């Protein structure tokens, strides 16, 4: 099998936690494929262009 060409995609992430009386909320925003590079990890299976991901996670306090 032939090797696929190398690629550089870059990522940017921002994270912030918010404290509340009964727990903590973790928020994150990710920008993936920062330079919008067309690339493949498996031949003939293109990976996504630049895209965003947002996540929220609640971490509740135990025993309160």
Q: What's the distance, Cα to Cα, between the start and end of the chain in Å?
A: 58
Which tens digit of pLDDT belongs to each residue from 6-61?
999 999 999 999 999 999 999 999 999 999 999 999 999 999 999 999 999 999 98
d(CA 15, CA 34): 17
Query: What is the structure's pLDDT at 31?
Result: 98
Which pLDDT score is estimated for 11? 98
The 3-state DSSP class for residue 63 equals coil
| Domain residue ranges in the chain | 11-59
**Can you tell me the distance from the alpha carbon of 23 to that of 61, in angstroms, rounded to the nearest whole number?**
5
For residue 63, pLDDT beyond 90: no
Q: Which residues 6+ apart lie within 8 Å of 21 measured at CB?
A: none
- Write down the pTM of the prediction: 0.77
């Amino acid at each position: 099998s032939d090797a696929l060409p190398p690629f550089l995609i870059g990522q940017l992430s921002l994270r912030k936690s918010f404290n509340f009386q009964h727990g903590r909320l973790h928020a994150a925003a990710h920008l993936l494929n920062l330079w919008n590079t067309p690339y493949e990890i498996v031949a003939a299976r293109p990976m996504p262009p630049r895209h965003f991901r947002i996540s929220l996670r609640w971490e509740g306090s135990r025993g309160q």
